[in-house]
Amino acid sequence: MKSSSLIASRSLVRSGNGIGAGLLRRAVLRQLANLRHGLLLVHEGSEVLHFGTPQSSQRAEIRVNDPAVWGLVAGNGSIGAGEAYIHGYWSTPDLTAVVRIFVANLDVLDAMESGLARLGRPLIQGLHWLNRNTRQGSRRNIAAHYDLGNDLFEQFLDPTMMYSAAMFLRGDDSLQQAQLNKLQRICEKLALQPSDHLLEIGTGWGSMAIYAASQYGCRVTTTTLSREQYAYTERRIREQGLEDRVTLLLEDYRDLEGQYDKLVSIEMIEAVGHRFLPTYFEQCARLLKPEGLMLLQAITIRDQRYEQARQSVDFIQRYIFPGGALPSMHKMLEVISRHTDLNLHHMEDFGLHYARTLRLWRENLSQARQRLEQLGYDDYFYRLWEFYLCYCEGGFLERTIGTAQLLLAKPGARPLPQYVQPSTLAWTNN
C-alpha cells in the first residue's frame, strides 16, 4: 500500500496518553484561549470548549478522538496538528474552516510553534536542509512528489492535467474551462506568435506546451525533472502529432542552453529554493533574447512573513514538497532588479482563484477515494492529501499566501499594455 511516512511514527506519539497528558493538554488549551478572530469549538468526550469570539460568523469545530493529539500539537505545533489529523486523533466536519481560524490568528499559531515545539525544530530543520535544491537534490525532491504516480493525479485534476491555479472568468466556469482560461491568458500576455520559440521551465503534464503549440503555432521547448511527467507528456505530444513543434527535455533549468523569444514558468519557482533564486532568474534572463518576454506564475507568501518562513519548516515542506520554498513578491522583485536586466511590466494577483481550484481538487479527491484505495493509496495517504489541500485553501482564503502572474520584459521588448477588468474575474470568498 502507498502510505504516508507518518505510519512509522505512530508509536512515537502515544506520549499524549501518558503521565504528562494533562500538562500537555493544558498547555495547548492555554494557547487556544488567546484566539480572538473566529470561534473554535473543541469536542472532547461530553465536554465542549469554546475559544474565540462567540458572535463571529467564522466558525469551526473539531472533535478529539484520541488524547495523543495534545502531545503532538504541544511538541510539534502545526506540523504536529497535521500529523495528528492524519492519524485520526482529531476530526472535523470542515477542515478548511479550522485552518482559516488559525491563519486568522497568526499570533496564536506562532506561539504554538514556540514553547515545547522549539525542541524538535533543529531535527526538522536538519532534515529540511538535506532537501536543499542542488541538482541532485532537485531531482530527488521532484520525484518525491510528482513521481507518486500519474494515476494519482488523474484522479483529482481535470482533463487538462494542470496542477496550478486556474482562472475562473465566469461564475459557472468548470475547473477544465478555468484552466483553459489561464492558458489563454498566459499566451495573450506573452503575445505568442507562430514565429516564436517558447521555452517552458517546468513541464508538468504537458498542457502548456501542447496548448501553445496547437493554438498559437509556435515552437516550444519544455523541460521537467519528473520521469513520470516526462513519460506522460511524451505520449500526449506523440498522440497529438506535435513532435515537430514541441521538444521535451529531462533537464535541470540550470543546464539549459540557447536563446528564446518567450519564456514561461508556471508554479515551478516554489521548487527553486531561497538560496537559488538569483541563479534561477539569472538563467531565465540569459536564455531570453534581447527583446524577450517572460511570464512567471508563482505562489507567494506575504512579504511580512517571508523571513520567518525562510527560517522555518511547515507541514507542506515536511510531508508534501521537500525542498519547497515560497518567495514573496518583494523578494522576487529584489532579486530580479539586482541580478538581471528584466523589468516588471505587469502583475496580476488571483489568489482567491487558487482557493476555488483547491476546493474542486479536494472534491474530486473525495469522489475518487474508493478508486484511490484500489490503486494502492491507503487511508493515511488520503488524509495526508486532504490536509494538504485544505491547509493551502485556508491560506489562500485568508490571504496569507497568494498567486501572481508576473510579465517580465528584457530591455529590448516593447510589450503592449495589459488590461484586466476585475469584474470579469469570478471567485467565491466562501
Catalytic residue list contains 187: no
Alpha-carbon 292 to chain mean position: 28
3-state secondary structure 109-161: HHHHHCCCHHHHHHHHHHHHHCCCCCHHHHHHHHHHHHCCCHHHHHHHCCCCC
Query: Would you say residue 430 lies in a domain?
Result: no
Q: In this structure, are 63 and 37 located in the same domain?
A: yes
Does residue 310 sit in helix, strand or coil?
helix
pTM, 2 dp:
0.90
The answer to whether residue 2 is domain-embedded is no
56 lies in some domain: yes
Residues 407, 269, single domain; the answer is yes
Q: Within 10 A of 318 (CB to CB), how many other CB atoms are there?
A: 21
Give the domain-ending residue among 93, 111, 129.
Answer: 129
- Taking only the tens of pLDDT, the chain with its 430 residues reads 565 554 434 434 444 455 467 888 999 999 999 999 999 999 999 999 999 999 999 999 999 999 999 999 988 888 899 999 999 999 999 999 999 999 999 999 888 876 544 444 554 444 444 455 665 656 665 655 666 789 999 999 999 999 999 999 998 999 999 999 999 999 999 999 999 999 999 999 999 999 999 999 999 999 999 999 999 999 999 999 999 999 999 999 999 999 999 999 999 999 999 999 999 999 999 999 999 999 999 999 999 999 988 888 788 888 888 778 999 999 999 999 999 999 999 999 999 999 999 999 999 999 999 999 999 999 999 999 999 999 999 999 999 999 999 999 999 998 888 765 544 555 555 5
Q: Kindly report the number of other CB atoms within 10 A of residue 294's CB atom.
A: 27
**Would you call 112 exposed, middle or buried from its count of C-beta atoms within 10 A (0-12, 13-18, 19+)?**
buried
> For residue 10, what pLDDT is reported?
45
Co-location of 419 and 313 in the same domain: yes
Residue 347: C-alpha distances to residues 49, 135, 170, 296, 397 (Å): 44, 30, 21, 10, 20
In a domain, 145, yes or no: yes
258 assigned to some structural domain: yes
Q: Are strands 246-249 and 288-301 parallel, antiparallel or unpaired?
A: unpaired
Domain of residue 22, CATH code: 3.30.1050
Catalytic residue selected from 187, 218, 284, 392? 392
| Cell matching residue 411 | 530591455
18 DSSP 8-state letter: S
Beta bridge partners of residue 262, listed in sequence order: 198, 293
Q: Give the whole-angstrom CA distance, residue 349 versus residue 242.
A: 32
| 24 within some domain | yes
Q: Which of 129, 163, 182 is the last residue in one of the domains?
A: 129
In a shared domain, residues 342 and 362 = yes
Cell of 205: 503534464
User: What's phi and psi for 160, nearest 5 deg?
Assistant: -70, -20
Q: What's the order of all strands across the beta sheet hosting 90-91?
A: 47-52, 39-44, 59-64, 90-91
Cα 328 to the chain's mean position, in Å?
Answer: 14
Q: Would 1 be classed as within a structural domain?
A: no
Number of structural domains (the chain) is 2
> 257 near 289, Cβ under 8 Å?
no
- Shared domain for 156 and 217, answered yes or no, is yes
The interaxial angle of helices 68-87 and 379-397, nearest 10 deg, is 100
Q: Is residue 406 part of a domain?
A: yes
Distance CA 122, CA 312 (A): 10
Say how far apart CA 427 and CA 430 lie, in whole Å.
9
Same domain, 166 and 220: yes
Residues 141 and 124 in one domain: no
The predicted structure's pLDDT at residue 69: 94
- Strand pairing partners for 222? 200, 248
Full domain range(s) for residue 55: 7-129
Question: Cell digits for 2?
Answer: 502507498
Rounded distance, CA 321 to CA 313, Å?
A: 11
The CATH code of the domain that includes 307 is 3.40.50.150
* C-alpha–C-alpha distance, residues 322 and 5, integer Å: 13
Same domain, 122 and 141: no
CA distance 316 to 321: 6
Last residue of a domain, one of 89, 114, 129: 129
Please enumerate in sequence order all residues whose Cβ is within 8 A of that of 427, keeping only pairs 6 or more positions apart, or say none.
168, 350, 352, 353, 355, 356
Same domain, 120 and 165: no
Does residue 152 sit in the same domain as residue 267?
A: yes
Q: Are residues 160 and 19 in the same domain?
A: no
In this prediction, residue 148 carries a pLDDT of 77
The reply to whether 121 and 189 lie within a common domain is no
